[in-house]
Structure 1
């Protein structure tokens, strides 16, 4: 009698849930650490890691003594396109539905992923604000300030629990000012202007649509993003009745999220498996991994403009490609729900069999 009551499979990479919010897509603006509409003005030894852009204005002053590790685009086609994409991103961030209304003063608080606004329409940080992703490196934080964002001197934003600066967005309806010696994280998308006062550091982007970006002996580092995979913690393939030839079920959603700052978005997911074995028998009964079939099926959801390609159905006797992306630009993601099919040996022994199915992405 063949009986397989619970063939549990789990992914042997850190599991994370999908972020409740998708990231704000910056498109070409993601290449910029600093972007302004009218002028970019610097005093002192500011360092900008990433591109610096200006459009439609033409005046970039203070470099040197400031340095830019990327390219300065002043009133060229690249800057104009980045400003257009910034406008789209700003509108997206402003249009998200808030998950909570919080106090104007964010200092001394800890927030988890979500979309936040304040009743007063402003945000201030005196002391430290902690953003806790709760173990999810794809978690998104969006702050909507109808008017201003102001940090006090030495105000800080601390990222914990896997939070990533590239997934933090500050939509500011007028202007943002970061106080002296502040340490800030996230992408500032301001309608008018952004001022970084003396000694302020920013892990993120200072992107102003219409006004100026003013700098003074600052360190600005554009986030580089990352490549993540999110997987189900376990799956039950169900049971097989006597004489059944196979047992089959969906594994659950597998999601790859790509936020890397690369010219072309390309990644490949590989899947492998162990044998299925019973836990109670001595020696344990085994169903070879060569009897395990993997069918990725089509993508159930995607973001971005990449070409997403599921691999052909095949055996997990050896590692094989599951899904891939190519020819995209900017952030992208794909989700699929693969089918696992186990071919049962004719002499299979009744019992509970488990295996570990591993997905990895490069």
Structure 2
């Protein structure tokens, strides 16, 4: 499905956190279900808060190219900042009954995590270790991740990991890695104060913090950032809400391409392609964003394609994103940012004018292949599908495969 959208826009982008080896702990298993359960391995329900990728008590503030896939809520506060240029691929709830209920359920989940019997106490530095399912306290001070932390579910996709700490700090470029069936939806970080995720880190799990949460530039979160009473600050971070998958076939991937479509001369076609790892057809709503501003939403077809036509594109660098909202059978996913440079001549050349009346003898050779201005017309046509060929931003690139014939032509520049 397509729609034409006039564009004269502003900016947006995505980015990543993970873990490994030595701490052996006792097993504990779960299936995400009831709160206030004394069994350390029993399911821990987030209630209505599970629908949110980001939830704050006072405000959600984004800077730079922030991308959030999932719902965003604030209560009892009522403000967000930095969206756009930041992108929210989901609903936003500000101090309304939905956000209030999510905060109530977050409080219950926080209390449930706090009251469970502990499996063991760990050293504050989790980097360079492997942890098995269980409920863990820090021996002293805040949990930190410097390097890689591996969470090993030992083949049990319902394995529960709970980390309880007065504060949480992950170093730049650190990683929480999920191994042997571990799922981000079953990883809980209960933080008594603030949590800080370092720049370029790759993080997994749901952070349940009493005060503020900060995700620095380039941090990627697969899970949730949920603050009871503070602010959630996102500095060019990417947050994707995790969902427990009974089978891994629920996962999806979204990619975005830009093409000059002959069906709409002079306009740019954005084509999102959604794929899933299982047999479920990737049919569902796809939202398109340009420079942080939501443009429109269309359902993908049975092949996972959704298409948006962009018209009136101003000269500048534009950044496009497509987000698959997910269904009750498929997880959401967001494409990487696609940057398209538009120069003064526009992005997609209009088709050639119809042939003129036959020229007088002697003029035909001089005028062949020339436009009224005397310049040779560029007849390049880029299509999608069936002869799909991705958009190339620079006009000079269009001739790079035309090889000069010896003695007849100069090498193209």
TM superposition score category, shorter chain reference: 0.5 to 0.7
SS in 2 for 1:214: strand
Per the alignment, residue 317 of structure 2 pairs with none
Q: How does 1:115-194 map to 2 (within 5 A)?
A: 115-145=135-165, 147-194=166-213
Partner of 2:49: 29
1:82 match: secondary structure: helix
Matching residue within 216, 224, 231 for 1:197: 216
Q: Distance in 1 between matches of 2:177 and 2:132?
A: 12
TM-score using structure 2 length:
0.50
CA deviation after TM superposition for structure 1 residue 18, in Å:
5.0
- Contact conserved, 2:29 with 2:160, CA < 8 A, in 1? no
In structure 2, the residue matched to 1:60 is 80
Deviations 1:12-55 (A, max 9, x none): xxxxx954612321010000000000111100111111000000
Number of the residue aligned with 2:234? 215
Structure 1 residue matching 2:233: 3-state secondary structure: strand
1:282 paired residue number: none
Q: Counterpart in 2 of 1:71?
A: 91
Distance in 1, matches of 2:145 and 2:246, equals 31
SS in 2 for 1:97: coil
Instruction: Give the distance between the partners of 1:128 and 1:72, measured in 2 at CA.
Output: 33
- Which of the pair has the greater relative contact order for Cα pairs under 8 Å at 6+ separation? 1
Which residue number in structure 1 is paired with residue 246 of structure 2? Answer: 227
2 CA distance for matches of 1:161 and 1:216? Answer: 31
Gaps of 5+ in 2: 1-27, 31-39, 248-413
Query: Which aligned pairs between 1:1-362 and structure 2 lie closer than 5 A?
Result: 18-19=29-30, 21-145=41-165, 147-227=166-246
In the TM superposition, what whole-angstrom CA distance separates every residue of 1:209-262 from its partner, at most 9, and x where no partner exists? 00000001111110121226xxxxxxxxxxxxxxxxxxxxxxxxxxxxxxxxxx
Q: d(CA) in 2 for partners of 1:89 and 1:102?
A: 22
Structure 1 consecutive aligned stretches of length 4 or more whose deviation exceeds 4 Å: none
Deviation of the 1:121 alpha carbon: 3.8
Question: 2:174 & 2:132 partners in 1: Cα distance?
Answer: 19
Aligned residue for 2:136, secondary structure, equals strand
User: For 2:60, what is the secondary structure of its paired residue?
Assistant: strand
Q: What do the CA deviations read for 1:160-180 (whole angstroms, capped 9, x no partner)?
A: 010000000000000000011
Structure label with greater radius of gyration: 2
Deviation at 1:94, TM superposition (A): 1.1
Greater percentage in strand: 1
Deviation of 1:67 (Å)? 0.9
Give unmatched runs, 5+ long, in structure 1.
1-16, 229-362
Question: In the alignment, is the contact (CA less than 8 A) between 2:52 and 2:224 conserved in 1?
Answer: yes
Q: Deviations over 1:66-112 (max 9, x none)?
A: 11111000111100010000000001111111101010000000000
Q: Measured at CA, do residues 18 and 93 of structure 1 come closer, stay the same or move farther in structure 2, by a change above 3 Å?
A: closer
Q: What's the secondary structure of 1:87's corresponding residue? A: helix
| Aligned-partner Cα distance in 1 for 2:152–2:57 | 33
Deviation at residue 126 of structure 1 after TM alignment: 0.2
In 2, the alpha carbon distance for the partners of 1:149 and 1:23 equals 23
